[in-house]
Amino acid sequence: MFTYTALIYVWDVIFDQNIMDLIEPTLDLERAFGSWPIYVFVDILIALVWFGAIYMLAGRLGFVARVEHKNR
């Protein structure tokens, strides 16, 4: 958890982004999708992709136990 927090802090500093700031888009990618409700959904999608990538990497490194489903 500490590592994740440190990575997010570095990300926020590099991109001059505040994770709690949803008033206006802060990245060019967000601005490309328009006004408030649309770019928030883009942020959520980016977060889901980010967490999915972390989960897949953690699974490959053996940090996350995956459940194998048996075919019925």
Residue 29 CA to residue 12 CA, distance in Å, equals 15
User: What pLDDT, in 10s, does the model give residues 11-42?
Assistant: 777 877 666 555 677 677 777 877 777 777 87
The reply to whether 15 falls in a domain is: no
The reply to whether 12 falls in a domain is: no
What pLDDT does residue 22 have?
A: 55
Q: Note down the domain range covering 32.
A: 23-72
* Structural domain count of the chain: 1
* pTM for the model: 0.51
User: Mean pLDDT score of the chain, rounded to an integer?
Assistant: 77
The reply to whether 3 falls in a domain is: no
What pLDDT does residue 49 have?
A: 92
What are phi and psi for residue 27, nearest 5 degrees? -110, 150
